[in-house]
Amino acid sequence: MDLAALGWDERWSDMWTAWLQELPEAVKRRFGDALVPVRVAFAHKHLYRVIGDGGEWLAEPSGQARAGMLEPSDWPCVGDWVAASPRPSEGRATIVGVLPRRSVFARKVAGTRRGAQVVAANVDLALLVTSMTQDFEPRRLERYAALAYDSGAEPVIVLTKADQVADEADVATFTAEAMSAAPGCSVYPVSAQTGAGMSELQAVLAPGKTCVLVGSSGVGKSTLANALTGTSHMETQAIREGDGKGRHTTTHRELIPLPNGALLLDTPGMREVGVVTLGDNDGLQGMNHAFEDIQGYAKSCRFQDCTHQHEPGCAVLEAIEAGELDASRYRSYMKLQREYAYMKRSEDERVRQQHQRFTKQRSKAYNAIQRSHRSRKGR
Ligand SMILES: Nc1nc2c(ncn2[C@@H]2O[C@H](COP(=O)(O)OP(=O)(O)OP(=O)(O)O)[C@@H](O)[C@H]2O)c(=O)[nH]1
Ligand SMILES: [Mg+2]
Ligand SMILES: [Zn+2]
């Protein structure tokens, strides 16, 4: 596949040149001219399928590359541009390194205290999907929006299964609710079944842009992917009887080229949408962006350090009282704030422990030098 059709542009090309120069000499000697830029199109655990100019290969990181992947988020992910050395006769390639990401859509790994899982890399547009059924989840949209704003991708809301909504007026209600959950996001109500709203959605999936589908299991992400490609490439499955929950049909992440030249990334449904802090990013910016309305009220609170819980003159509480701000949105905001604060504390603790270990090691080394110094003097 042509690199430009995969999203490669001049900025990537410049990055590639600079990145190659920084490679350790040993790696340059070993792989040298054999290295090509390829994009990760499929990821399942630590097995990847990469696509580049010369073809498509199954790929794994080299031992040396693995040694440098200290955190789970250092591993390649769907959407990543990686440097690979293909072995065409075997249909395989070795991944030598991951190019720095332009955007990272990440979440907290379910069931862990911290630990980021990169859902998709180098994404331009995050399609936050929920269905206009009993599974409609405006509180989840808020979390997704916070993660998306943090990732550097632009969030867009897709409301699926419009054909299940009896009344046209109800579609407007769902749309309005989604809009207030994620102020500033465009909302697209669609039906993959009847095709309603699909052309409007297609129009935002511009050629060369990478768009990721995220949302709970069963909301219709893969059905949407199939409707957009006009294939039945992605497996889909009816949701469970009774609780309306999905079955977690999609188990891997995959980049699918659309007929118009956009790239669509289907992902497995998420059970939990935990917030994360990655590197220097404390996540608060995305959160503040996703809750601009509450931030706006907070500016008028009497106390600058108002916690919006009990203080007199709290403009946020007043807005709830006046019916301007939804109480459940407020609760969701407070809960997210606590989660971010917790992430921040555990990150600080991790850094502190790392520093302590380092200082200990250093003083051990220092003492060893002193001892050898003394014994030489004594001789
Ligand atoms: N009526 C109706 N049903 C839909 C629509 N889109 C999806 N569905 C149904 O919803 C169910 C779940 O769809 P999937 O596409 O498998 O859902 P998913 O979001 O990919 O789920 P996971 O892969 O588990 O994350 C299937 O039975 C689909 O047929 C739609 O527009 N209208
Ligand atoms: Mg799916
Ligand atoms: Zn307040």
pLDDT digits (tens, 9 = 90+) for 68-90: 888 888 999 999 999 999 998 99
Q: Atom 23, ligand 1: which residue's CA is nearest?
A: 250
On the question of pLDDT at 312 being above 70, the answer is yes
Q: How buried is 366 (Cβ within 10 angstroms: 0-12 exposed, 13-18 middle, 19+ buried)?
A: exposed
Least distant ligand from the CA of 319: 3
Number of C-beta neighbours around residue 258 at 10 A? 17
358/352 Cα distance (integer angstroms)? 10
Q: How confident is the model at residue 281 (pLDDT cuts 50, 70, 90)?
A: low
Q: Atom 4, ligand 1: which residue's CA is nearest?
A: 161
The proportion of the chain whose per-residue pLDDT surpasses 70, expressed as a percent, equals 89
Across residues 117-124, what is the average pLDDT?
91
pLDDT of amino acid 132 = 96
Distance (angstroms) between ligand 1 centre and the Cα of 160 equals 9
> Do 216 and 137 meet the contact criterion of CB atoms below 8 Å apart?
yes
Which comes out higher in pLDDT, residue 350 or 264?
264
Distance (angstroms) between ligand 2 centre and the Cα of 306 equals 43
pLDDT of amino acid 244 = 59
Q: How confident is the model at residue 237 (pLDDT cuts 50, 70, 90)?
A: confident
- Residue 219: CB within 6 Å of ligand 1? yes
Across residues 257-275, what is the average pLDDT?
88
Q: How confident is the model at residue 118 (pLDDT cuts 50, 70, 90)?
A: confident
pTM: 0.84
pLDDT of amino acid 114 = 60
On the question of pLDDT at 362 being above 70, the answer is no
- Residue 337: CB within 6 Å of ligand 1? no
- Residue 79: CB within 6 Å of ligand 1? no
Distance (angstroms) between ligand 2 centre and the Cα of 228 equals 14
- Residue 222: CB within 6 Å of ligand 1? yes
315/279 Cα distance (integer angstroms)? 33
Across residues 84-109, what is the average pLDDT?
91
- Residue 252: CB within 6 Å of ligand 1? no
Place of tokens 């920084």: 22
171/177 Cα distance (integer angstroms)? 10
Helix (H, G, I), strand (E, B) or coil at 8: coil
pLDDT of amino acid 375 = 72
- Residue 139: CB within 6 Å of ligand 1? no
How does strand 104-108 pair with strand 116-121?
A: antiparallel
Distance (angstroms) between ligand 1 centre and the Cα of 136 equals 13
- If you average pLDDT over every residue of the chain, what do you get? 88
Nearest-atom index, ligand 1, CA of 193: 31
- Residue 217: CB within 6 Å of ligand 1? yes
Nearest-atom index, ligand 1, CA of 217: 25
Q: Atom 27, ligand 1: which residue's CA is nearest?
A: 238
Per-residue exposure over 137-153, b if at least 16 CB sit within 10 Å of its own CB, e if not = bbebbbbbbbbbbbbbb
Distance (angstroms) between ligand 2 centre and the Cα of 223 equals 7
The proportion of the chain whose per-residue pLDDT surpasses 90, expressed as a percent, equals 60
